[in-house]
Amino acid sequence: MILPKEQIKRYMRHIIMPEISGAGQKKLLESKGLVVADSAEDVLPLLFYLTASGIGHLQVILKEKEGFSELKASLLDLNPDLKLELEGDIPVLRNTENVNFAVFAADYEESKNLKGVPKIFSLVGPWGGFLTTNMDGSNDGLSLFGKAKEPRECSAGLVMSRFFAGTLAAIEAIKICLNLGKTLEDPLHYNLLDMEFKRANGETLPEDPLKGMDFSDLKVLIVGSGGLGSPAAFALAQAGVKNIGLVDSDIVEISNLNRQILHSTSRTGMPKVESAEMFLKKISPDIEIEKYYVQFNNKNALDIIKDYDIVIDGVDNLPTRYLLNDACVLAGKPLAEAAVLRFEGIAMTILPGEGPCYRCAFPKMPQAGAVPSCTEAGVLGPAPGVMGTLEAAETVKIFAGSGKLLSGRLLIFDALEAKIITPALSKNERCPICGKNPAIKDLSGNYDFVCENN
């Protein structure tokens, strides 16, 4: 056996993918990464996803020391196997032998002393930023930091950029360690306000029209607190959302922890809604969490969603995805939608009465067994992090009435190819739920086929 039994359980969603398998996961566990940033908040999502994915050794160099002990405790609770060196004051690089990758989220001259190591450079601003990977270990990425403006106060837009960049950088690091797929050697410029993604470095960072906006009155319901729901809830809590409802009937299992960063080893066996509340209360003590430790079904769906402004889809099976779409269309609730399988994800925003819904894109639910679940096909841990972050960003924009939404567009993310596209999506006038003559007028239909976890 390549890995001990407990590690096989923890990383099962990775191991069942041929591109990773047991040998690949063992390689991740033996890998060492270096992360350099001004503060822990700049790289918080990155550190959580590297830890969850099984990178065995992390050296973290930060300028600001605040929160060191709490951060270390959280990361080791997520994955006790991690060897973590956490330092402050950004010292001269040392103990960097056998480093497999380095992530720089700060303009750090000492990076020039790290020779022959693949480097990931990330520059973030509110709602946008740049990310590039230099496989030959050069320092070309440092030119990105010349685009930085004066430091800005934390805002919802900055939180979303940090989460998006952190999850993408974690994917880049995993691909480097496994020599897998294509990396971002052509810089990616992303604008989450308009959901635009360009492979160029000549762009400017967007302005922040939501700066100083108060999100304490926004009420968000997240159906599912797993791979998609975790980053969505984490990002929204950091962005200042104070009212979140969580629906989930599952308990925390060790196999969840390679991607579900709200949970931890010490909370295995606990209902996910309770585990998630404990995590979110630590980062935002005054947040109000409404917990629904029930299975979301056609009998309770409309009652659960009625008091919320916006709904986020964090489910892991197709029948519940169709049910959630239908419930939101019938109730007139905006829905941020996303799904992930293996290395790929899709996202769209559903505005009932305005744009296309999920059934417009996918009119009929596939038969049981026609589409594999993530239990059967696997999922790369940080991939749901990317998609859940996009759902959180869309939620904030819907509430603020700002930016270009993914309504009328289907975002398609390919982690292996390092590609994001947003083709147009038209409303289907013959759609059975939102078309001119809808056949679905209530939730009495068949939503019984459920993907089992075991």
Taking the C-alpha atoms of residue 314 and residue 232, their distance in angstroms, rounded to an integer, is 9
2-18 per-position pLDDT tens digit: 788 989 999 999 999 99
Query: What confidence score (pLDDT) does residue 149 get?
Result: 54
Contact by Cβ (8 Å): 19, 25: no
Q: What is the mean pLDDT of residues 119-130?
A: 92
What is the identity of the amino acid at 115? K
Please name which of 424, 425, 428 lies closest in space to residue 438, comparing C-alpha atoms.
428
Q: At 452, is the pLDDT very low, low, confident or very high (cuts 50, 70, 90)?
A: very low
Averaged pLDDT for residues 341-351:
95
3-state secondary structure of 262: coil
Second CATH level (architecture) for the domain 219-421: 3-Layer(aba) Sandwich (3.40)
Amino acid at 416: L
pLDDT digits (tens, 9 = 90+) for 15-59: 999 999 999 999 999 999 999 998 899 999 999 999 999 999 999
Query: For the chain, what's the residue count?
Result: 454
Which regions of the chain carry the CATH code 3.40.50.720?
31-198, 219-421
Q: How confident is the model at residue 1, as a pLDDT?
A: 53
pLDDT of 424 higher than 50: yes
pLDDT attached to residue 453? 39
Spatial distance between the Cα atoms of 392 and 72, rounded to a whole number of angstroms: 26
Whether residue 336 has pLDDT greater than 90: yes
pTM, full prediction = 0.94
pLDDT band at 363 (very low <50, low <70, confident <90, very high): confident
Angle at 27 between CA 25 and CA 33, to 5 degrees: 110
Residues 6+ apart with CB under 8 A from 402: 193, 209, 210
Q: Are 224 and 384 in contact (CB under 8 A)?
A: no
Of 165, 136, 225, 169, the residue nearest 53 (C-alpha): 169
Topology of domain 31-198, CATH: Rossmann fold (3.40.50)
Q: Tens digits of per-residue pLDDT, 203-246?
A: 677 788 988 899 989 999 999 999 999 999 999 999 999 999 99
| Residue 451 pLDDT class (50, 70, 90 cuts) | very low
Residue 135 DSSP code: T
pLDDT band at 375 (very low <50, low <70, confident <90, very high): low
Tell me: the pLDDT tens digits for 77-124?
A: 999 999 998 876 666 666 667 899 999 998 777 777 788 889 999 999
Q: 312 pLDDT band (50/70/90 cuts)? A: very high
